[in-house]
Structure 1
């Protein structure tokens, strides 16, 4: 076998989300390493989502739009990617098309060049509509994803049918097989590959999986053999565990199979060293290789949701119900029509399973979001829902109130939040608590100064030189890279 394999870097979005709860990285952390990431030669960087943008505001008091601008300016050669369902922006409340259009427009003009679109129900009609909308609002490249799952209805014929339905989509620039649960097996990817490659045609076919039960590296090798030529990986410190395969290991594997790549290994090593040092200083965990666990197929919760479920039970002082709750996940999923266990539905299923495990009678307590699911606000289920459960959920008085829930709209928003604020600020105020938006930029200097920035060797050198008035000029060269500093006069 031969051919060039391209790599999409998932470190800053999926790796950060899978291992560091999406909260581990600040804007300063990202800007400090962005030029080095740009030198690696990645096909693209899976960089952010509206959830990550909200985290920047809520946890770091940072402007997420500034983050997009600064990082995109610092790595102009590597397209930054934004992942979306196209159904909402930041808040769980569904948004109407005008809100989504404005969000897409703002994301694109602040530096995002690539969108990864994934629908919770793998609905080809909705995927095509969101892809068209993204292009209309200025996005350069749209990658449509079909999210992998295992159930009575999520058969290989199901995926073949949906891939075929996307084949003639004029707004699809690439197609990817998205496996957030790490459920793919080598046999499965071998059987699915021809359908995805046929649907992609001359466009790239990408493969994305997680190491949650240890199969993803094998899946990537088999995917290469079957024809995929773009793989999604994270650098080693933010890979493995519940994250994606490690870039370093994947490159060795693909070379062993006779393939080549375009990456600068020295720059890749620098990126990996940076995130390892950053994690050590912040006390953040690194991914470790996982053993195969066949029981995982019964609940299919991603690693982050497994730990969230355990934490929920510990907070409720019922940790002994953990195994029962995992078993309940499979039962709840079947009753809800086998939704794919991916955000946002994974949270609904896990929360309901915990409630069912604790309560004397199942489905006694139901969240508003789960009621909305049964009302059809999250799309058509893959299979019919359990009629008895649906009747019980929809008989609740709250269901009548939520039935008429209006999607988030722009109408009247300018009047509420101010005619002179930017579109970007308007979107934040429309979707987030006022006190959180008002707090942007109020972090203490100590909190705002990222340890990753201070530790970067060139940044450290320049700061030290700036403190010495006798030094007026500095030139540093390593290979073809040159940094020139002059004191302002």
Structure 2
């Protein structure tokens, strides 16, 4: 007998990250937390991704305190998005920093860890997955298949990756389609193959965006193929570059054998609240607040949140007319780099390199350090090997700097105790573990936050 489809709600994280630059405050969430809790979602995504950085940098909030507040009001599991060895920053961190962060996040209320690596390199997932599995709170641990399209990536390859994640102890897998590239019939085939390869009872979740226009159709075909959970956003923060709409999917499946059994009527007052929140955020921060569907994302593959940033970079440089050139250059740079999926941090690195190429009028004339690090293997193994001459001649990377095992580099990274000493040496005495972790991820941003919130920096107190 077919089971009801479960829904993971993204309005408190990816919904506003995709449409409103992650600018929703905890005060905007509080009035509806109890109502959201009663809906019956599988989980509510409310932490991780860009929320941590944005809390500190733009919203004057402590992300750890936000998580505590969410936990007080939600019995539904709180889900976070974690970038494996990257955590929530843009570098790889030492194993002890990763382990400490995961343990603290679990203690503060994360009930579902969705863990991914931008290159689908499982070596970058092992430490975070292991730490989450060891947490005394017994959170659900989900591994990701970062979905992309290339000559290398096939549904069969994604099934192989899913089997590795299951063998590593993951309780479920998620197809993470961050750019809305997954076509409906390809989704149907992938879900069927995952179910055949992992076992019918092993949970498979699907995450997509509506950037290409496929979203709701892709979910429908995946549901027909047996997917267990779909990620949706309530209507004010749905569609365009965000997830398919929660209310739409609930209505679409009503009366079928996969009926979600959720009360769509109960969602209406919650959606009305968040529509007002969306309008407020757009006005306060001067955001566009909506994005056009663009089927050409199938070619340039840039996640929705990046498109506006790249356009702004060109505008500031007085080169708005080069926007299409930039979209054309992205696939070429990605090919040179061995076809990495474009998701944080690889999307930013490839996007910046393509922007430099277009703005300078000469390819690889200016090459950022992060691009060289990704090319030489510091972030892990690219899907296809990078041409040796491209590495050594075009990018000028010495043979001795090419890395075969990224985990060896991670072992050289700054440790938790080193970050703690840095913080205390700057006058922030007796920092909590949470403050040290905030500093480890975003040193300059966290330092400014601490200066603002502690009157006497040398007599650092809560």
What is the TM-score normalised by the length of structure 2? 0.88
Q: Distance in 2 between matches of 1:18 and 1:324?
A: 24
Correspondence for 1:439: 452
Unaligned runs of 5+ in 2: 456-462
**Cα drift, residue 256 of structure 1:** 5.7
For residue 267 of structure 2, give the secondary structure of its aligned residue in structure 1: helix
Q: Distance in 2 between matches of 1:92 and 1:437?
A: 21
Correspondence for 1:228: 227
Does structure 1 retain, via aligned residues, the 8 Å contact 2:20–2:289?
no
For residue 350 of structure 2, give the secondary structure of its aligned residue in structure 1: helix
Q: Distance in 1 between matches of 2:160 and 2:450?
A: 44
Correspondence for 1:409: 415
Cα distance change of structure 1 residues 225 and 424 upon mapping to structure 2, 3 Å threshold: same
Larger radius of gyration: 1
Does structure 2 retain, via aligned residues, the 8 Å contact 1:82–1:114?
yes
Correspondence for 1:157: 156
Does structure 1 retain, via aligned residues, the 8 Å contact 2:150–2:339?
yes
Matches within 5 A, 1:101-112: 101-112=99-110
For residue 439 of structure 1, give the secondary structure of its aligned residue in structure 2: helix
Query: Deviation string for 1:381-431 (max 9, x for gaps)?
Result: 00121333312465269x969998942312333333346321111112333
Aligned pair count?
Answer: 437
Does structure 2 retain, via aligned residues, the 8 Å contact 1:61–1:440?
no
2:40 equivalent to 1:41: yes
Correspondence for 2:10: 10
Cα distance change of structure 1 residues 269 and 332 upon mapping to structure 2, 3 Å threshold: same
Unaligned runs of 5+ in 1: 443-489
Cα distance change of structure 1 residues 150 and 50 upon mapping to structure 2, 3 Å threshold: closer
Correspondence for 1:429: 439
For residue 249 of structure 1, give the secondary structure of its aligned residue in structure 2: helix
Cα distance change of structure 1 residues 57 and 339 upon mapping to structure 2, 3 Å threshold: same
For the aligned residues, what is the CA RMSD? 2.5
**Cα drift, residue 287 of structure 1:** 7.2
Correspondence for 1:420: 430
Matches within 5 A, 1:353-432: 353-392=354-393, 394-395=395-396, 406-418=412-424, 420-431=430-441, 432=443
Q: Distance in 1 between matches of 2:307 and 2:290?
A: 16
Matches within 5 A, 1:87-486: 87-138=85-136, 139-169=138-168, 171-201=169-199, 202-255=201-254, 257-283=256-282, 291=293, 293=295, 295-392=296-393, 394-395=395-396, 406-418=412-424, 420-431=430-441, 432-433=443-444, 434-440=447-453
For residue 46 of structure 1, give the secondary structure of its aligned residue in structure 2: strand
**Cα drift, residue 104 of structure 1:** 0.7
Q: Distance in 2 between matches of 1:440 and 1:33?
A: 28
